[in-house]
Structure 1
Amino acid sequence: MIRQSAYYRLLRQLIDTPPGLLWRKVGRHLKQSVQHTWARLETRLGRAGLSNRAFCRSVTTPDFLAHMRTRRQHHFFIGPAARTEVVATLRAICPQTADAIIAAADQSCDHIFDLLGSGPVHLGASIDWHVDFKTGHRWDPTAFYLDLTSAPFPGGYDIKVPWELSRGQHLVWLGQAYWLTADEKYAQEFVGQITDWIEHNPPRRGVNWVCTMDVAIRAVNWLWSYHFFTESSSLTDKFRLAFFKSLLIHGRHIFNNLEYSETLTNNHYLSNIVGLVYLGLLLPEFKEAEKWRTFGLVELEREMVKQVYPDGVDFEASTAYHRLVTEMFLSTTLLAQLNGHNFSSAYRQRLERMLEFILHLTKPDGTVPLLGDNDNGRLHRLQVWNDSPREWRDFRYLLAVAAPLFDRLDFAQAAGDQWADAIWFWGAQANTWQNQAAAVQLEPHRSAAFPDAGVYILRSDDFYVAVDAGQNGQNNNGGHAHNDVLSFELSALGYNWIIDPGTYVYTADYSLRNQFRATAAHNTVIVDGQEQNRFDKHLLFKMPADAAPRVLTWDSNPAYDLLIAEHYGYNRLPKPVTHRRTFYLDKQNRFCWLQDELLGVGRHQFEGIFRLAGAVQIDPWQTGFIWRQDTSALLLVSCPFRRKIAPDMETFRDWAAPGYGAKTAQSVIRALVTGPAPVVLDWLICPVRAQAQPYPSPDQIQQWQNRVEHILARVEATQPQ
């Protein structure tokens, strides 16, 4: 694809923008330009900081430090009075988590960090906050923040590494370890790292002021961690003054650098709001606190409508970003309600639906499919995971946190053993809710449809299929979407079998970024080697909406689940092709029938891709393959009985990314057909307990195919012509 020039894209954007919206955007950009010019001048003259005298004029309390020493935190989740109860609850129901927190805090004291797939890295006696420690690339710490950028094409280093470190999420582990052990070394390390960060990151200089989202998340984590140390003797008046001055600077920076656009706001802008609400609620002594708080609470309501579909799914076409956005909304909602704010019923209902989506999305093993992008994004990390990769795929802790808020016993039960986060929000109430959930037997999860997002869950006991039949997200900007239309994940018998490969990286490697979001990286069909949605290899966060998927049939009943959907991403070819895919889950006989119809004219090459979970043994079986994990097996069989079309099938090795920055080997099955359209391919996917049940015979498979085709014929007869 020929890359369009930046000038051409800008011209098209101007032509396509309505006049009223255009003038609002021009006005905002002019205002920002003036603000940034003034900020650059102030920074150059050394006036970006905040003197003690100026700080005193910015607070409402005459003797601020004395006030902060004695102030009792009745409006936060944790405080000195709750320490004994919280520690006892954590040790009672999550003893391994307590040990893991202490171990992680000790590593933080030793300046050993494991971020974004780096593995444990020792950063030395003095932390360099401006370096991508995975590659060694360093940003100029004296540069004006607007002059610093991520890696240009083709990549080579990752700006997310210093950003992630400076989010300070590990500081919360220091606070938790302090509560668990009463060891002052954790308070001293907290003071030391914050002091060092402030010294080496003056306002508006360096990489850690570039992204307002990270400034806001840092403020939230500083506030969380501070509340563990309020009674520590290690927090001197000198430290407190520097700490709160920096938080005031953080708040002003967020408010003056909002990641807002008239045409599109996303998780970045939401994080800005969250940071302002946290600062506005927890530091009411700041004269600007009321402005931040009022603005943020109003914008939370607005962004809930803009960023979350009516069915409760985040609009960015990514399950990982749904998790991040849910975490931000949920945490801030709980804090605001604790401080007496009442949200609208519409806001609360949509937030509850966000949790319901997680409830239904969760697989039998407690993880979720990684649809779309995943950058390991979190607001705060209140527990340390013994199984590190699982942190990026297990969202059940959010159900535990939300259960008391919405009085949902099903949330509590679905949370399983993920109660560590909830303890820091609810204290002993978390234990009560966990016990109540364990004492009742609720109905098992059922199949579910989320039509606004285009996500469908076909389920029967431990047989689970998740299908992505949705748009590109972000109002078709596609910033975090992948070419995964009609792709799916499948689990059965307690194992994941067919999975999405994940994301791996963003600007660190443009080629790998594009490889992991390409059609060939997903469990769908490729036509003539083309992408479902075309994208420019230089524009890593944009994917035009060519595919325009449409769901034709969704029928879920006690006997079966049936989903029929199609997309039009290949209609742009000289000889157009429509890909229609049918999923039929038979709940009695426990098989999934997959039918691919490639409707069109002309000769084409069709590739069907099936990406397998990690440690599987693959062997040929009849007209397909069988792969095994322990004593269980899954059959993938091509069924050419009616069509007389048998694809050429092969296996090869490729990469999967269980989390951002980490990749592991993955087995892939490719089925290839070259010939004239239309082409219909039928697949049987059948889980088998290797020792306990026989494999289906060819006659049995034909009987199942007859049943499927009978149902499909009946459905087709009811469709309008």
Structure 2
Amino acid sequence: MLIPLLYHLGPRWLAQRTRFALERKLGLLAKRSPQRPWANFGPTKTHPAWRVQSPSLPITKLDQTFLAPHLEAWALAGGHSPVAEADAMARGQFRIFSHTLCDLGYPPQWAKNVLTGQTISSSAHWTKSSDAGADDIKGVWEASRFSWAFTLVRAWALDGEARHVELFWKLVEDWMQKNPPNRGPNWMCGQEAALRLIAFTYALQAFRHHPATTDERILLGARFADATAHRIAVHFDYALSQSNNHGISEAIGLLTAGTFWPELSAAASWRQQGLQALEAQVANLVADDGGFSQHSTNYHRLFLQLMTWGELVQRAAGTTLPAATRQRVRQATRFLLSLMESDGTVPRYGADDGANLFQLSGCGYDDFRPALGAATALFLGERLPAGPWDEAAMFLLGPLPASAASELTFTYDHPRSGVSTLHHARGTAFFRAPTIFRHRPAQADQLHVTLRWDDEWITEDPGTYSYNAPGVMNGLAGARYHNVATVNGLDPMKRVGRFLWLPWTACQRLPEARGYRATHSGYPGFVAERRLLKFPQGFVIIDRLRGMLRQPGEWTLRWHGRSRVGLEKLSIACSVASAESWLTADETTGEGWYSGYYGAKTPSYTRRLTATGEDIIFVTALGCQIRLEKNAVIVDGESIGINELS
């Protein structure tokens, strides 16, 4: 695997990884980031002028009496009360991964894994901890992302009660007491530290003039920011080498600390370092068509949330992000908007770790309108149709225009990023066919298709579940968990690590008047070709699967969905004898599960057709009548010759 590793990632990447490993093993990282008490960070005393002179966000200036009526209406419309959730926190119950409430106790057990219930040691230096153990470390990090801070801001804005502000500070003080700088698992990841700093900064800005935000607590905040920025800076080059949201978030973390705490000795250098790195990262990670490097709808949302914050930080400092950076973010915003349905959902693809930075509305986790509404207003100067999702944009940006702009128009084919959609009056078909991988693929999802019909996702990507689950449920990243045809149980790439596939099998796009057509040769000795076509009555997917030397293979076509009734709407034909089977909640293969939230799974369905041959055709239809004959596919009476498929 060394040769493909060098080919795709380059010798510089390999040299960096070797250096990072040596620095950790030899204790050099620990020496550069020693365990020190909080008193060793930040200024020695409170700066009385900070409350008045430090840069501020729109939330600092929003009038609570103006916000409350809007928030009450949105809470009623969404059936979600931030006040009830805030009061649950005071009883030790915290929402995890935008989903269920978890009992962490009060004060919380910050080292408890919310996914397994296990508690890990928090006394050693962060370099002595590992994210590759038996547990999923994300379960430990979740509460320490401080997502709960956004809920407390919403609750205070709704009812004006001081208990929400006091609870925020009590939780921060407890976290700082139990997580001294550079000690324990909650300091392991620079990105986690950056996300925590963003949440803390937002809440501090909201509560900036509240009596509970005393001068002593402002000093604590400065120490918190100083220690966090030092932690990010000590391993910043590692984050940048990831070529993903790690570098973006950590650059913005440095920018945040340097902007809102100008009294810190390294503030100016952090601002400069963060801004320069952010500009370079965005230029590298956002493709010309707006696609993001991580090949994931959820990580694309996180990217836009981070860039929204980055622009707000810059505006607080009296400037903006560089013009070229903002242009890339506009493209990225339009890209994700082109995938969003009217209910705010998107066809999920790629890894999904539950990230949702700004939990500033009562909308569900799979509703992208809160994030996209804010990004659309900030970067495009437009507004989505009004609704409860506007709460997030108002909390971030301030009051929005009274009415939505004219309907936005988009491009629906993004071949460079490998994402395309077809739209029908009754639904949408999503096609995943990356023609080039500039950055490492997230999953073996080449030729995957997601289908939506009559406002229901009929077939879809089942999610991620966990990056470190035991057995087969480890990331649900292989081809068998996607709506594709596989041969002899193979993947089109080999998984050589939790987040690394080799070699990077790209697709070849071919002309197709009715939709999209692509092939790949990732299965050794075989070619997989798929056509996604639109007809007046619906969609048709045609798979042709061949042995390069006319050798036979055992091909399995899979369709995954939450509803058996939905999957039964698919008409499927095969050119040779085939066997159909269904799986639900299968622990042996991991098929027949759906993970709508990280760390959670519910039984779903997998419909499989298996056939053996040297040249096989599967035809799947939704909304159309099909018949597969010897030399043609008949779709609603229209003949498509077999020669058109070769």
Provide TM-score, normalisation by structure 1: 0.81
The unaligned stretches of length 5 or more in structure 1 are: 58-62, 556-560, 619-625, 628-633, 688-694, 717-721
Partner of 2:450: 489
* RMSD between superposed Cα atoms in Å: 3.2
Question: In the aligned structure 2, how far is the partner of 1:504 from the partner of 1:28?
Answer: 29
Partner of 2:421: 457
* Kept in 2: contact 1:279–1:289 (CA 8 A): yes
Q: Which of residues 495, 498, 506 is equivalent to 1:540?
A: 498
Question: In the aligned structure 2, how far is the partner of 1:180 from the partner of 1:18?
Answer: 52
Identity of aligned residues (%): 23
Query: How far apart are 1:526 and its partner, in Å?
Result: 0.8
Matching of residues 303-452 of structure 1 within 5 Å: 303-385=281-363, 390-391=364-365, 393-409=366-382, 412-413=384-385, 417-429=388-400, 432-433=401-402, 435-437=403-405, 442=407, 448-452=412-416
Q: 1:22 to 1:477 in 2, by over 3 A?
A: closer
Q: 1:312 to 1:20 in 2, by over 3 A?
A: closer
Partner of 1:175: 153
Partner of 1:521: 481
Partner of 1:636: 571
User: Which amino acid in 2 is paired with 1:403?
Assistant: T
Query: How far apart are 1:110 and its partner, in Å?
Result: 1.5
User: Which amino acid in 2 is paired with 1:504?
Assistant: Y
Question: In the aligned structure 1, how far is the partner of 2:430 from the partner of 2:451?
Answer: 7
Question: In the aligned structure 2, how far is the partner of 1:65 from the partner of 1:584?
Answer: 65
* Kept in 1: contact 2:311–2:320 (CA 8 A): no
Render the CA deviation track for 1:163-214: whole Å, top value 9, x for unaligned: 1111111012112212221212112211211111111111111111111111
Matched, 1:241 2:219: yes
Q: 1:636 to 1:224 in 2, by over 3 A?
A: same
134-143 vs 453-462, which moves further: 134-143
Q: Which of residues 572, 577, 581 is equivalent to 1:650?
A: 581
Number of residue pairs the alignment of both structures matches: 634
User: Which amino acid in 2 is paired with 1:532?
Assistant: P
Q: 1:583 to 1:646 in 2, by over 3 A?
A: farther
Matched, 1:275 2:260: no
340-349 vs 112-121, which moves further: 112-121
Query: How far apart are 1:705 and its partner, in Å?
Result: 6.4
Q: 1:703 to 1:13 in 2, by over 3 A?
A: closer
Query: How far apart are 1:708 and its partner, in Å?
Result: 5.7
Q: 1:21 to 1:165 in 2, by over 3 A?
A: closer
Matched, 1:136 2:94: no
Render the CA deviation track for 1:504-534: whole Å, top value 9, x for unaligned: 00124353115x1111111000101111211
Secondary structure of the structure 2 residue equivalent to 1:366: coil
Question: In the aligned structure 2, how far is the partner of 1:19 from the partner of 1:495?
Answer: 46
Secondary structure of the structure 2 residue equivalent to 1:260: helix
Partner of 2:565: 617
* Kept in 1: contact 2:116–2:139 (CA 8 A): no
Q: 1:551 to 1:507 in 2, by over 3 A?
A: same
* Kept in 2: contact 1:98–1:180 (CA 8 A): no
Partner of 2:621: 684
Partner of 2:589: none
Partner of 1:622: none
Matching of residues 83-102 of structure 1 within 5 Å: 83-92=64-73, 95-96=76-77, 100-102=81-83
Matching of residues 579-618 of structure 1 within 5 Å: 579-586=528-535, 589-600=536-547, 601-614=550-563, 616-617=564-565
Question: In the aligned structure 2, how far is the partner of 1:261 from the partner of 1:241?
Answer: 28
Q: Which of residues 520, 523, 526 is equivalent to 1:567?
A: 520
Query: How far apart are 1:412 and its partner, in Å?
Result: 1.8
Query: How far apart are 1:50 and its partner, in Å?
Result: 4.4
Question: In the aligned structure 2, how far is the partner of 1:264 from the partner of 1:361?
Answer: 26
Query: How far apart are 1:346 and its partner, in Å?
Result: 2.5
Q: 1:39 to 1:346 in 2, by over 3 A?
A: closer
Q: Which of residues 660, 673, 695 is equivalent to 2:598?
A: 660
Q: Which of residues 19, 31, 37 is equivalent to 1:49?
A: 37
Q: 1:113 to 1:75 in 2, by over 3 A?
A: closer
Query: How far apart are 1:257 and its partner, in Å?
Result: 2.2
Query: How far apart are 1:546 and its partner, in Å?
Result: 5.0
Query: How far apart are 1:312 and its partner, in Å?
Result: 0.4
Query: How far apart are 1:678 and its partner, in Å?
Result: 1.8
Render the CA deviation track for 1:228-267: whole Å, top value 9, x for unaligned: 2223222333333223212211111111121536754221
Could you say which structure has the larger radius of gyration?
1
Q: Which of residues 453, 472, 477 is equivalent to 2:440?
A: 477
Q: 1:102 to 1:667 in 2, by over 3 A?
A: same
* Kept in 1: contact 2:362–2:388 (CA 8 A): no
Question: In the aligned structure 2, how far is the partner of 1:506 from the partner of 1:20?
Answer: 26
Q: Which of residues 536, 541, 553 is equivalent to 2:511?
A: 553
Q: 1:671 to 1:497 in 2, by over 3 A?
A: same
Question: In the aligned structure 2, how far is the partner of 1:187 from the partner of 1:696?
Answer: 62
Provide TM-score, normalisation by structure 2: 0.90
Question: In the aligned structure 2, how far is the partner of 1:383 from the partner of 1:104?
Answer: 12
User: Which amino acid in 2 is paired with 1:528?
Assistant: N
Partner of 2:587: none
User: Which amino acid in 1 is paired with 2:395?
Assistant: W
The unaligned stretches of length 5 or more in structure 2 are: 585-591
Query: How far apart are 1:554 and its partner, in Å?
Result: 4.9
* Kept in 1: contact 2:38–2:181 (CA 8 A): no
Q: 1:418 to 1:522 in 2, by over 3 A?
A: same
User: Which amino acid in 1 is paired with 2:374?
Assistant: V
* Kept in 2: contact 1:606–1:674 (CA 8 A): yes
Question: In the aligned structure 2, how far is the partner of 1:491 from the partner of 1:86?
Answer: 37
Partner of 2:46: 64
Q: 1:384 to 1:73 in 2, by over 3 A?
A: farther
Secondary structure of the structure 1 residue equivalent to 2:229: helix
Partner of 1:692: none
Query: How far apart are 1:118 and its partner, in Å?
Result: 7.7
Question: In the aligned structure 2, how far is the partner of 1:167 from the partner of 1:594?
Answer: 42
Render the CA deviation track for 1:255-298: whole Å, top value 9, x for unaligned: 11215367542211211111111112222222211111111111
Matched, 1:107 2:88: yes
User: Which amino acid in 2 is paired with 1:452?
Assistant: R
User: Which amino acid in 2 is paired with 1:595?
Assistant: I
Question: In the aligned structure 1, how far is the partner of 2:53 from the partner of 2:65?
Answer: 16
Secondary structure of the structure 2 residue equivalent to 1:585: strand
Q: 1:212 to 1:74 in 2, by over 3 A?
A: closer
Question: In the aligned structure 1, how far is the partner of 2:338 from the partner of 2:120?
Answer: 43
Query: How far apart are 1:15 and its partner, in Å?
Result: 11
Q: 1:228 to 1:404 in 2, by over 3 A?
A: same
Query: How far apart are 1:96 and its partner, in Å?
Result: 4.1
Question: In the aligned structure 2, how far is the partner of 1:336 from the partner of 1:651?
Answer: 53
Partner of 2:588: none
